[in-house]
Amino acid sequence: MAEAKLDLIPVPTRILTEKDDIVDSIERYTKGKIGPDDLLCTAESVVAITQGRFVRPEDLKITRVAQFCCRFIPDYGSLASPHGMQSLMDVEGKWRVAFALFAGFLGKLVGQSGLFYKWGGEQTALIDDVTGTMPPFDKCIVYGPKDPNEVVKKIQQRLGCFGAMIADVNDLKRSRVVGVTDKVDGQMAAKLLIDNPFGNASQKTPICIIKNYRQYQESQKSQK
């Protein structure tokens, strides 16, 4: 099977807020642009914002445990600030996070990485600290979206596209699936987003359409 020609199309929007419905917004801004063989991708932070899943740093009560634990996170991480760490502890539990951090440290000593993110709770890898998303929410800490797999199902049904995916992508060449519909190879799709087509600043492009994704996925699997 010949490999299908892909085209990644970033879709500009206005600033989406907690007053918007993410499915309605995606339908509005992709009207006439998406077909039955396409994959609709959206940034996880925008989905979370429309669900009201964010907190202002000044509304957090910082504990000494959070102040201590954040020191062990690399400076580029969203949990490296006391506010970022406290936001995680508020949703996943203070002692659970502290234990996971300690276990992660011990794991690295024996060559096993990722334990902190495995045991610290779902939000450990999803929280965006301040400046991690588009204005005016760059002054907020944004959690990961709620029920991402249900959200993508609703998007797919509304648009009639091949599939839908919520992804966590950044400029450090990290691309991770947060929610994805059936029949879509999430890891394959995530690699296509590695250069981060989502614009979280002045670009205002939190949506990306991968044209002809169905044919591309089928052609890739037929070559294995």
Residues 6+ away with beta carbon under 8 Å from 5: 212
196: left (phi over 0), alpha (psi -120 to 50) or beta: left
Q: Which position has the higher pLDDT, 92 or 131? A: 92
Element at 23 (helix H, strand E): helix 22-30
**Rounded Cα gap, residues 151 and 163, in angstroms:** 12
User: What pLDDT does 173 receive?
Assistant: 76
Domains of the chain: 5-51+143-220 (3.30.1330.100), 53-139 (no CATH)
Q: Determine if the pTM surpasses 0.85.
A: yes
For 13-57, write each residue's pLDDT tens digit: 998 999 999 999 999 999 999 999 999 999 999 999 999 999 999
- Is a pLDDT exceeding 50 seen at residue 1? no
Reduced DSSP (H G I as helix, E B as strand, rest coil) percent helix, strand, coil of the chain, to 5? 45, 15, 40
Tokens of 174: 């990290």
Q: Percent of the chain, pLDDT > 70? A: 93
For 166-201, write each residue's pLDDT tens digit: 999 877 778 889 999 999 999 999 999 988 877 655
Going by C-alpha positions, the residue among 216, 145, 215 that lies closest to residue 178 is 145
